[in-house]
Structure 1
Amino acid sequence: MIALTVLSGVLAGCAGSEATRAGNTALPTVSGGPATGPATGPASPSRASESGPPVLAPGPGGLTPVFERRADASGSRNKVVALTFDADMTADQGPRAAAGERFDNPGLIASLRRMKVPSTVFMTGRWAQEYPAQARSIGTDPLFEIANHSYSHYAFSSPCYGLPTVAEAGMRGDVERAFTAIRKTGARNLVPYFRFPGGCYDDASLKALAPTGVTAVQWDVVSGDAFATDADAVAEQVLDGVEPGSLVVMHCTRSAAPVTDEAVRRIVPELRERGYRFVKVSELMRG
């Protein structure tokens, strides 16, 4: 079992690793390069997938493309931002859930519905198995779309904040297993997007996932909600970082991000006052 302190380091470390990118106003829309290795150049523009949502064309050498933000969203008509929420749960956290630890956050989902905020939830297969009714509810509500966050939140490159690592030969199977687990709940609004646990990837993992046809989705704004206790501080970090076309990473896990709901209830009206419109990742990618 991964101890809570290790998971805290994973999430907080992930946020720290992206801090400089969150403040970079010149980030490219796509990046074929890994977060922990040499860059491989930009991927091609978006195109429709067979299931409908847009995906990016493969990067150089056929690598899985990576989307970070929509850099061409300038002007008042394009003031769009995507709020994304990682629903994290590892394969071995069942005993903790059975003992009462909550890895879900129904209050957050209720707030997003009440405020009518389109959102993308990056869900692990293990989370879907633990909370099938919630996964089905999220995945049948047109306000939301569900993307893949691996089956058990193990790393796809190493080192990655102490996470156990998926063997390269098992990476494709892990992603497919997660999609299967989510679909078994009855969720229908699935999109062919994948978020690497910890945001960690390299050329080997991009190559391993290429046959799945997914587009990897990162972010340019770190909310800092992981294990935060000050909702206002989380809100301020998001409000300070958002620009037109931004993609914000947050969490849908009460035990790991207890103030996210409260922070979102401040973030949403303030960004709307600034003229921002909320979109799902699929709409952000469509441009």
Structure 2
Amino acid sequence: MISPVRPVRVVLRAAAACALGGVLTACGAPGAPPSARPAPAATSTAPSRPATLARGPAGLTPVFKNGPRTQGRTVALTFDADMTADQGARAAAGERFDNPELIATLRALKVPATVFMTGRWAEEYPAQARSIGRDPLFEVANHSYSHYGFTGNCYGLPTVSEDRMRSDVERAYTALRRAGVPNAMPYFRFPGGCYDRQALKALAATGVTAVQWDVVSGDAFATDADAVARQVLEGVRPGSVVVMHCTRSAAPATGQAVRQIVPELRKRGYRFVKVSELIGAARGRQ
């Protein structure tokens, strides 16, 4: 998602980061993409379905920003694995859009996390996508195939037309499945965090819950890990969703920042959870 996110024709106050010269740029719920549904269980016990939110007014795609503030100190770290559809040449030239060291850090610290992955990223790094997707510590969700904007004027991103929004999301699920991610979650993060009523309407049939955030890490293009850690620690509240990035070339300080953030939040009594747990808690209050 690498874009400083501001309101884009809908109430959205966050500033997550996005430029990089051209821009770095349900499972089982009714209407969920087939590729997002869990495979049949090998035993007679069916897998539980990930929590999703009920559709909004007029049947629009629901939007989730944070979990309940009064059900304990939980926080979800989320990481956007960004790569736009037209960045293949840059990857071939040696630019790294992945960050295996960050994933290793999360594993070493035993931190559950949700990774929002573009289909193009999964195609470029299928072994990493498969490793992340099959690790019970993580859950993989949809960040579009192309990482193009779902509204106009979204930080310089090319724009997905309304009639192609649904197919872009479905194409991402297909790419994730082909990379070896077995159970991609029915959650979608808009590139740049940009969305409007038209986009929410276009995606309603996919059955996804759109996931935003309430804490911006400021890690995109940052080289000062201390500053990133400080911004997260100052912003986290019970139920928070923190947006960070799993993109080495555009967020090089993230791993170091995580090594500061995790022990400090644990010291404050926070428990790290995946987005699905926060959505489950929120759904219980709908």
TM-score range, shorter chain: 0.7 to 0.9
Percent of aligned positions that are identical: 71
Q: CA deviation at 1:158?
A: 1.1
Bigger shift: 186-195 or 83-92?
Answer: 186-195
Aligned mates of 1:233, 1:38 — CA distance in 2 = 29
1:57 — aligned with what? 54
Q: Secondary structure at the match of 1:249?
A: strand
As a proportion of its length, which structure holds more helix? 1
TM-score of the aligned structures, taking structure 2 as reference length: 0.84
Aligned mates of 2:141, 2:195 — CA distance in 1 = 17
Aligned mates of 1:185, 1:199 — CA distance in 2 = 25
Aligned mates of 2:62, 2:278 — CA distance in 1 = 15
Q: Secondary structure at the match of 1:283?
A: helix
Q: Secondary structure at the match of 2:203?
A: helix
Q: CA deviation at 1:190?
A: 1.2
| Paired AA for residue 54 in structure 2 | A
- 1:106-145 pair list within 5 angstroms: 106-145=100-139
Aligned mates of 1:241, 1:66 — CA distance in 2 = 20
The CA deviation string for residues 183-226 of structure 1, in whole angstroms up to 9 with x for no partner, is 10111231100000000000000000000000000000000000
- 1:39-188 pair list within 5 angstroms: 49=29, 51=37, 52-70=49-67, 72-74=68-70, 78-188=72-182
- In the alignment, is residue 232 of structure 1 matched against residue 212 of structure 2? no
1:13 — aligned with what? 4
Contact 2:10 2:195 in 1 (8 A): no
| Paired AA for residue 143 in structure 1 | L
Equivalent in 184, 187, 203 of residue 193 of structure 1: 187
Cα RMSD for the two superposed structures: 1.7
TM-score of the aligned structures, taking structure 1 as reference length: 0.84
Residue-pair matches, total:
250
Q: CA deviation at 1:152?
A: 1.2
The CA deviation string for residues 236-275 of structure 1, in whole angstroms up to 9 with x for no partner, is 0000000000000000000010000000011000000000
2:280 — aligned with what? 286
| Paired AA for residue 111 in structure 1 | T
Q: CA deviation at 1:80?
A: 0.1
Structure 1 runs not aligned, ≥5 long: 1-9, 18-34, 40-45
* Structure 1 residues 107 and 81: alpha-carbon distance in aligned structure 2, compared to 1, 3 A threshold: same
Bigger shift: 185-194 or 49-58?
Answer: 49-58
Please list every run of at least 4 consecutive aligned residues from structure 1 whose deviation after the TM superposition is greater than 4 angstroms. none
Contact 1:146 1:190 in 2 (8 A): yes
Aligned mates of 2:27, 2:187 — CA distance in 1 = 13
Aligned mates of 1:11, 1:90 — CA distance in 2 = 11
Q: CA deviation at 1:38?
A: 5.2
Bigger shift: 262-271 or 184-193?
Answer: 184-193
| Paired AA for residue 160 in structure 1 | C
- In the alignment, is residue 37 of structure 1 matched against residue 9 of structure 2? yes
Q: CA deviation at 1:49?
A: 3.1
Contact 1:55 1:192 in 2 (8 A): yes
Structure 2 runs not aligned, ≥5 long: 12-25, 31-36, 38-48, 282-286
Aligned mates of 1:170, 1:11 — CA distance in 2 = 22
Contact 2:3 2:155 in 1 (8 A): no
Q: CA deviation at 1:36?
A: 2.4
Contact 2:140 2:185 in 1 (8 A): yes
| Paired AA for residue 2 in structure 2 | L
Contact 2:27 2:184 in 1 (8 A): no
